[in-house]
Amino acid sequence: MPYIIATERALFWAVRDAAQVIETGMTLLGQTTVAGLELVSHADENEFLRAVAGRAGQYKPLPAVGGWVEAGDIYGYGGGLVIVRQSHSRTEHAPETVPALFSVYRPDAIGDAAVLEWVANEKVERGIRRRFKAVVYECIQAHVTQVDWPPDVTPALWGVVQPPVTTPDWKVGVKYTGDNTAGAGKGDVVTHNGRRYRCWQTHTSQIGWEPPKVPALWIDLGPI
């Protein structure tokens, strides 16, 4: 039986059969959701909406103009799903034109580019990520956002998401610092042909001294 456990971030989920979404929700940190049918989930709103795009034509539809929608509720719209960000009475504006009110699938948004901008009056759970002044934050305490509680001045509510450390490719003509200079385990790390290497002896790279060819200069750290 399919199940998900939220161990690091809250998870959006949908239960679906071959034709459509049956039910949706959110699994909070430390909780488990079990389903009898296919269960899809993701911590990122856009990735979750991508997974159910075109599969929610018969799911409970977004209320008409004037209807009340609650923050966190998920509705069918345009064949996919939308997530309500702020409780409000539906306006005449399409969800995709009011990102402060709805999370809508954005096909071209990936990675940090898919993180929504922080807005006031949004109900956020632990693990939800928002962008504020070009910095990505993760909610560390569930709350309703307020205009005077932005992420950059409320460290008890938001933590900065550190960007992933990228390992550069090995190149010719670069002076690499080895463990012999920087200290054990602190030499420069590079990638080459799908593997990672740490510089052992400080040197300037040249053709013929590729990491796998000179174990006296490079320590093989294994596949990427």
The band of 104, judged by pLDDT with boundaries at 50, 70 and 90, is: very high
Domain around 184: 175-223
Q: What percentage of the chain carries pLDDT values higher than 90?
A: 68
Based on the domain organization, do 109 and 216 belong to the same domain? no
Closest CA to 23 of 64, 56, 51: 56
The band of 165, judged by pLDDT with boundaries at 50, 70 and 90, is: low
Q: Which pLDDT score is estimated for 106?
A: 87
In a domain, 11, yes or no: yes
Based on the domain organization, do 32 and 129 belong to the same domain? yes
The band of 186, judged by pLDDT with boundaries at 50, 70 and 90, is: confident
* Gap between the Cα atoms of 188 and 199, Å rounded: 5
Residue 163 has pLDDT above 80, yes or no: no
Based on the domain organization, do 21 and 106 belong to the same domain? yes
Residue 162 has pLDDT above 80, yes or no: no
Across 195-215, average pLDDT: 94
Q: Which two tokens stand for residue 109?
A: 């948004």
In a domain, 166, yes or no: no
The reported pTM is: 0.68
Residue where a domain stops, chosen among 160, 187, 210: 160
The band of 164, judged by pLDDT with boundaries at 50, 70 and 90, is: low
In a domain, 72, yes or no: yes
φ and ψ of 49, to 5 deg: -65, -30
Tell me how many domains the chain contains. Answer: 2
In a domain, 170, yes or no: no
